[in-house]
Amino acid sequence: MPSHGSLTKAGKVRSQTPKIPPKPKKNKPPRMRNRWEYIRRIILEAQQQTVRRRR
């Protein structure tokens, strides 16, 4: 099986590319975000409804 180019040059371009630091992430990971949305929608909403019923 013929190869495309010599193996001595493998990875040349990637090693020459300058390393750019990653941008800071804006959102929380999905697991944390889903949990917070569940708390906000289900649990806090249920607490607010019980407070409304007492009045």
Domain total in the chain: 1
18 is a domain residue = no
13 is a domain residue = no
Compute the C-alpha angle 1/14/26, nearest 5°: 130
Give the whole-angstrom CA distance, residue 39 versus residue 46: 10
Q: Which range marks the domain in which residue 50 is found?
A: 27-55
- The reported pLDDT for the residue numbered 24 is 92
> Tens-digit pLDDT profile for the chain (55 aa)?
566 777 888 889 989 999 999 999 888 788 998 999 999 999 988 888 887 776 6
Residue 13 phi/psi, 5-degree rounding, is: -70, -40
CB atoms within 10 A of CB 45: 10
Contacts of 40 (CB under 8 A, 6+ apart): none
5 is a domain residue = no
17 is a domain residue = no
